[in-house]
Structure 1
Amino acid sequence: MLAPYRRLFARPGTTAFTLAGLLGRLSLSMTGVSLVVLIAERRGSYALAGTVAAAGLATGAIGMPLIGRLVDRFGQSRVTVPAVLYCAVPFSGLLLCVRAGAPDWTLYVCWAAGAATPNLGGMARARWAHLFRDEPDELHLANSFEQVLDELCFMAGPVLGMVLCTTIAPEAGMLTAGGLGTVGALLFAAQRRTEPPVADRPAAGRHGSPLRMPGLRVLTLTFLSTGMIFGALDLTTVAYADALGNRPVAGGLLALVAAGSCAAGLVFGTLRPGGPAGVRFLRGVAAMAGLLLLPLAAGLGGAGLALLGAALFVAGTGTAPTMVTGMTLLQELLPQRQLNEGMAIAVSGIVVGISGGSALAGTLADHAGPGAGYWVPAGAAALALLIALVGRRHLDVPANASEGLGVSGAR
């Protein structure tokens, strides 16, 4: 199964930027749980920890597309290095404020100021899109591989962060995440030979936001609903395991979701994509919506943790193919000069959705029982399908999309 993926690394420099980007994404996946544990331990308040984290998500959702726009205009390396060095200042300030007992408002300011970090996952996908701009099958393989890396990071990152925070010191998780993120981003920026060239700008000098494209709006709303799935699944699974007196098992259950997605992504990458990406995306969203009925049935039916784990693993298999096809569709729809900004907007939609899904699932779990929270991911998946169906005509890639990356023209 892994043999086809070796072809990706036959190109010079691909291994280097992939490993560097992996460090940065591992850092990102560690940060959430490490921040919560740090503030809860040092300040004794989960409520404070949650609201500080939410402030960072809000500014990240705004700042990430702005960073993406700068990357499209000036290049990955020229933007990544100063952005990462800047973010290290408020990040360090947060740790000092927590340790010194500074007022709570300082935590919000520091975390909000440093949350808009460069989107290394999006920049890695932009590099693959440039390298394989005339090879759609190889680009499909690369996008599948990137999704698998995302899943692996979000399986290992929270566990690593929790272990560091609980066995060494509450600050250990954040310090490690900050170090990995800074080193990974700087190493990524140093890989210049695989960096996509800055695309020519229109003669008028201004090209507006890529959100003017109806296709990006449809995909962003669909990804927002997908983010709600992720946030709601996490919180509901923790609440369900806690209600059964096995809260420590929740981490393993959530790992099963990521494992299912990871396995599906590996298999999906080896399959030759057939038909337009818009049609494949619709099929993926429909499959994801159907599969998410399984944990809902298990939760409402009072199934034990073993059956719930099996349902979560199978439900997870619908995620990676949908995300892979969605990212491929973004690369086909967006002109190269707006690729990083457009992908950052889509990722911001996921971030906002995670926050909303967590809030909705938490409210439902408190007032209707823990298993009822699985209505939220099932409903969010149905909403994603409805949005994709309504916006279906905007997901067609024009046959003469000359501004794009050359992928659609190659088909």
Structure 2
Amino acid sequence: MFAPYRRVLSAPGSLAFTLAGLLARLAFAMTGVATLVLIADRRGSYALAGAVSATGVIAAAVGMPLLGRLVDRHGQARVAVPAVLAGVAPLLGLVFCARTGAPDWTLFACWAAAATAPNIGGMARARWAHLYRDDETARHRANSLEQALDELCFMAGPVLAMLLSTGIAPEAGLLTAGALCTTGVLLFAAQRSTEPPVRPAPAGGRAPLRSAGLRVLVLTFLATGVVFGSLEVTTVAYTDALGHKPLAGVLLALVAAGSCVCGLAFGLVRPRRSPAVRLLAGVAAMAALLLLPVAAALTGAGLAVLAVALLAAGCGTAPTMVSGMTLVQELLPRRQLNEGMAVAVAGILVGISVGAALGGAVAERTAPGTGYWVPVTGAALALLIATAGRRRLRRTA
């Protein structure tokens, strides 16, 4: 099974930047749960925790495309290093304010200012697109590998964040995430041999969002982000209501595990249908499978059954994300890949912020488990958007 991926990683320098980026990805996977636990523990409110988390995600969604544009114009290393260093002080400020009982507005301000980390996943995919620019099958496998690595981090990240935040101190998870993010980005930026060359933009060039197909993708990813954000908050709140809060990380890891396995399997299948068709199939599967956690939670089947349901629900995520990122690479010229993928990820981040806020509000106002309807709604909306805009998801550049 892994032989094709070994061939993909045989490109000179590819293994080095992949391993370096893993640290930053792990940090990103930890921050959501770590922030929620820190604020909920220190302030006693999931609604406040979800709102602060949402603010940071929105700030990242605004800044990430701007950083992506700078990366396209000046190169990955020249932008990534100062960007990640700029977020260290605000992160420490959030921890300090949460611990000392500072006014709630300071939490929002610090977390928004800390959202300066560059889009490591997008920069890694841009490197793959450059390395395998003439090999569609290799690019498909590389994108599948990237998604599997993302999910691998989301398997380990929430578990590690919960262990640190509940076993050591509420601040431990977020501080560790900050250290891993800074280290990972610096190591990734140091891998200069695989960095794509800067391609000057022609005068009067179109912005990525002028592409109708990319607009459809961003809206689809926004709705998919609602799935991610609400699923995380709902699971943490649900396990807390049952008196098993530390198990939230394990349950969220199972979602990522299902996506990781499906991502690796998806990459082994030689593409026969267009990425647009594959995207529609992935979104439809995601919407259907997310009904399983709803049934498990609302029937009171227990955490063991919920775990199986979440594992199955994760299987629709990877095909959706792999196909979507492949479409970004097809819809845009190479000189705009970093900005284009950052715009796509920004859509996901906005959706995550909306989903986190909705999930937190529903968790505080309804019976435990009711919040699992929020990710189902997000997936159904993603399917509706992708279906309505399917004709625009074709190569334009």
TM tier, smaller: over 0.9
Q: What is the identity, as a one-letter code, of the residue corresponding to 2:291?
A: L
- Separation of aligned partners in 2, 1:106 and 1:307: 40
Say whether the 8 Å CA contact 2:55–2:353 is kept in structure 1: no
**TM-score normalised by the chain length of structure 2:** 0.92
With structure 1 as the length reference, what TM-score do the two structures score? 0.89
Is the contact made by 1:364 and 1:370 (CA closer than 8 Å) also made in structure 2?
no
Secondary structure at 2:87 match in 1: helix
Deviations 1:43-100 (A, max 9, x none): 6665554433232112111011111111111110111112122222333444455566
C-alpha change, 1:33 and 1:368, in structure 2 (3 Å) is: closer
Distance in 1 of aligned mates of 2:53 and 2:352: 12
Match of 1:261 in 2: 259
Which of 204, 209, 215 does residue 211 from structure 1 map onto?
Answer: 209
8 Å CA contact retained: 1:224, 1:352: yes
Q: Deviations over 1:83-135 (max 9, x none)?
A: 12222233344445556665544433332112121000110011001101111
Q: Which residue in the other structure is 1:28 paired with?
A: 28
Note if 1:296 corresponds to 2:259: no
CA contact (8 A) 1:125 1:146 kept: yes
What's the counterpart of residue 130 of structure 1?
A: 130
Q: Does 1:236 align with 2:234?
A: yes
Q: Deviations over 1:140-195 (max 9, x none)?
A: 11111111111111121122223223344443333322221111111111111100
Q: Alpha carbons of 1:169 and 1:248: their partners in 2 closer, same or farther (altered >3 Å)?
A: closer
After superposition, the Cα gap between the structure-2 partners of 1:313 and 1:69, relative to the gap in structure 1 and judged at 3 Å, is same
290 and 45 in structure 1: CA distance in 2 versus 1, 3 angstrom threshold = closer
Amino acid at match of 1:352: V
1:335 aligned partner:
333
Matched residues, number: 397
Letter in 1 for 2:176: T
Aligned to 1:405: none
**Greater Rg by CA:** 1
Cα distance between partner residues in 2 of 1:381 and 1:255: 19
Following superposition, the deviation at residue 238 of structure 1 comes to 3.5
Q: How does 1:41-52 map to 2 (within 5 A)?
A: 41=41, 48-52=48-52
Distance in 2 between residues matched to 1:43 and 1:109, nearest whole Å? 16
- In terms of mean alpha carbon deviation, does 61-70 or 100-109 score higher? 100-109
Taking a change above 3 Å as real, the CA distance of residues 379 and 62 of structure 1, as seen in their structure-2 partners, is same
User: Residues 78, 246 of structure 1: CA spacing in aligned structure 2 closer, same or farther, 3 A cutoff?
Assistant: closer
- Indicate the larger mover: 305-314 or 89-98: 89-98
C-alpha distance in structure 1 between counterparts of 2:201 and 2:346, whole Å: 24
In 1: Cα distance, 2:305 partner to 2:13 partner: 44
Which one is further off, 16-25 or 251-260?
251-260
Provide the residue aligned with 1:344 in structure 2.
342
How has the CA–CA distance of structure 1 residues 352 and 20 changed in structure 2, closer, same or farther, with 3 Å as cutoff?
same
Identity %: 67
Q: Deviations over 1:249-277 (max 9, x none)?
A: 33322222111111111111111111211
Partner SS, residue 216 of structure 2: helix
Equivalent residue, structure 2, for 1:408: none
- Mapped to 1, the partners of 2:340 and 2:136 lie a distance apart of 20
CA distance, structure 2, for counterparts of residue 311 and residue 17 of structure 1: 34
Change (3 A) 1:369 1:180: same
Q: How has the CA–CA distance of structure 1 residues 283 and 167 changed in structure 2, closer, same or farther, with 3 Å as cutoff?
A: closer
Q: Please show how residues 2-401 of structure 1 align to structure 2 within 5 Å.
A: 2-41=2-41, 48-98=48-98, 103-202=103-202, 204=203, 206-398=204-396, 401=397
Larger mean CA deviation between 143-152 and 370-379 belongs to 370-379
Spell out, residue by residue over 1:241-300, the C-alpha distance to the aligned partner (whole angstroms, 9 max, x if none): 445454443332222211111111111111111121111111111222222222233334
CA contact (8 A) 1:61 1:116 kept: no
* Matched position secondary structure for 1:140: helix
Moved over 6 A (4+): none
User: What secondary structure is seen at the aligned counterpart in 2 of 1:196?
Assistant: coil
Cα displacement (A) at 1:10: 1.0
Matched position secondary structure for 1:370 = coil
Does the 8 Å contact 1:228/1:380 carry over to 2?
yes
Cα distance, 1:87–1:264 mapped onto 2, change above 3 Å = same
Point out the more displaced range, 389-398 or 159-168: 159-168
TM superposition shift of 1:239? 4.0
- Looking at structure 2, the residues matched to 100 and 367 of structure 1 have their Cα atoms a distance apart, in angstroms, of 28
Q: Distance in 2 between matches of 1:309 and 1:385?
A: 25
- Cα distance change on mapping 1:111 and 1:167 into 2, 3 Å: same
CA distance in 1, matches of 2:63, 2:12: 32
Q: Which amino acid aligns with 1:150?
A: D
After superposition, the Cα gap between the structure-2 partners of 1:174 and 1:73, relative to the gap in structure 1 and judged at 3 Å, is same
